[in-house]
Amino acid sequence: MLDANAVRSAAERLHTAEQTRKPLRQLTLEYPGMTMDDVYAVQNAWMQIKISEGRVIKGRKIGLTSRAMQAAVNINEPDYGVLLDDMFYPTGGEIPADRFIAPRVEAELAFVLGKPLKGPGCTIFDVFAATDFVVPALEILDARIQRIDLETKATRKVLDTISDNAGNAALVLGGEPFNPLGADMRWISALCFRNAQIEESGVAAAVLNHPANGIVWLANKLARHGVFLEPGQVILSGSFIRPVEARKGDTFHAEYSSCGSVSCYFS
């Protein structure tokens, strides 16, 4: 276990890396004995720094929701991060590319809660009852920690990514909001275009067999820490495409079958 000083130091360095756009060295190389509890402590400490500067928690994100991705990083459950008020962009808007270090885009569904959602014992039916509506979304990932170490050439581990707010940096909401019981979400598809060329596609069933299952997992996971999901919060349920690199000047457009589309431009 990392002590409080090490956790605080790691969080401060992540904060500086984001502000300067200079990724720091992998934390797992500095602290090879890091545990899952350690990296979530670092993530939380970093978010507390942001909150002390005036940021407000507006929701959560869930990642690593497909079996293929979990197997690739040798874990058996998803991960989660925090959504803050300055991360939200409207569909069709401009996103400043110089805000990020190495942005990538994913397509997913966002659940907007109308009622509190608490674990333990949360079920998919509780998620349906607590959800006000679901809307298509693009998640923008970033890397405040080096993906490949310059000295050892070691690749970043999932523990590094979790400490880095599970990779989250921003999101775009759009499309047509719908009632979670009004559609079979498993079959909602996404076609993701970059500069009018299709780059990725997928269906929502790739997210734990149903996107709402990710919300179930999160509510029960947070309950261990005395945290619950609040009304009005936006919960990104997990991507069902591989991330697509975003560059300055790129336009992204994602079509979500009958649920409309989401777009953004990296200026």
Q: Give per-residue pLDDT as tens, 114-170.
A: 999 999 999 999 999 999 999 999 999 999 999 999 999 999 999 999 999 999 999
* Residue 151 main-chain phi, psi, to 5 deg: -90, -55
φ and ψ at 14, to 5 degrees?
-65, -40
Look up the CATH number of the domain holding residue 47. 3.90.850.10
Give residue 183's pLDDT.
85
177-189 mean pLDDT: 94
How many domains in the chain? Answer: 1
The whole-number pLDDT of residue 15 equals 98
Residue 210, domain extent: 4-266
Q: Give the pLDDT of residue 64.
A: 85
* pLDDT band at residue 173 under the 50/70/90 scheme: very high
Residue 69 pLDDT: 65
Instruction: For the chain, give the DSSP string.
Output: ---HHHHHHHHHHHHHHHHHT-PBPPHHHH-TT--HHHHHHHHHHHHHHHHHTT--EEEEEEE--SHHHHHHHT-SS-EEEEEEGGGEEETTEEE-GGG-SS-EEEEEEEEEESS-B--SS--HHHHHHHEEEEEEEEEEE--SB-SB-TTT-PBPPHHHHHHTGGGEEEEEE-S--B-TTSS-GGG-EEEEEETTEEEEEEEGGGTTTSHHHHHHHHHHHHHTTT--BPTT-EEEEEESS--EE--TT-EEEEE-GGG-EEEEEE-
pLDDT tens-digit series, residues 190-221: 999 999 999 999 999 999 999 999 999 999 99
pLDDT at site 71: 65
CA–CA gap between residue 96 and residue 130 (Å, rounded): 34
pLDDT, tens digit, for every residue of 50-104? 999 999 999 999 998 876 666 666 677 899 999 999 999 999 999 999 999 999 9
